[in-house]
Amino acid sequence: MSDVSAVRTLAVDGSRPLSIRTVKDLTVLCDEVEDQGGAAILRVTGTPAPGWADGLDVSLVTKWERVLRRLERLPGVTVAAGDCGGVALDAFLTADIRIATRGSRLLLPFDGEATWPGMAAFRLARLAGAARARRAVLFGHPIPAPEALTLGIADEVTEAPDTAAAAAVQRSEGLSGKELALRRQLLLDAMTVSFEDALGPHLAACDRALRRTVEEAA
């Protein structure tokens, strides 16, 4: 069993506005996992205060969304744990394993006129379905942890998120990061492509798996 204390960990504070520092920190995490493999834990906390988007520009938001997409495709297991909104919610929704505390509320930033239209709204709709994400996306209603669990937005609700995250990482030991990334992509593609278009990539993945089995037996 590996030393969980050595697993790459990044704290993402949703009470703070998006900054270039946040983008750089997540970029470094992605670089390390892509270069060296292994799992990553995101400790997500905090919800955005009024004025969260003051001073933002589209360039910075674009950089953030791009690094989130990298996080979503990493060749390694990603685990997010905590109570969150804003940038922390963005990170939470990209993780493979999402752990909430019992008092957690998932919250899109709301400026009094509308919710923030970032890709968290897209990911919520993908995970829960448009109808069930409607109140959160349109009206900024918080999603409490029990509801997030029921909707499949959270995988686990616990009073000890750090312990649960460590256990999730340990359960992932031995997984191939490359193969995990491939299975993740096949899963995401299943929501948007036809059976006929999906068949080729699935068969190619099966062929690789069979070849690997033969090589290991040789």
Could you tell me if 211 and 106 lie in one domain? no
pLDDT at 6: 63
pLDDT of residue 84: 83
CATH number of the domain that 77 lies in?
3.90.226.10
165 and 196 inside one domain: no
The alpha-helical segments, DSSP class H, found in the chain are 20-36, 58-72, 86-94, 119-128, 130-139, 145-151, 161-171, 177-189, 195-217
- Average pLDDT over every residue of 61-66: 96
Annotate 20-47 with DSSP letters as a single string.
Answer: HHHHHHHHHHHHHHHHH---EEEEEE--
State the average pLDDT for the chain: 90
- Pairing relationship of beta strands 8-13 and 97-101 according to DSSP bridges: unpaired
Report the domain count for the chain: 2
pTM: 0.88
Amino acid 2: pLDDT: 44
Contact 101, 159 (CB under 8 A): yes
CB atoms near residue 85 (< 10 Å): 28
The parent domain of residue 211 ranges over 177-217
Domain check: are 21 and 126 in the same one?
yes
Length of the chain: 218
Same structural domain, 118 and 211: no
Same domain, 55 and 153: yes
Q: How far is CA 12 from the centre of its chain?
A: 12
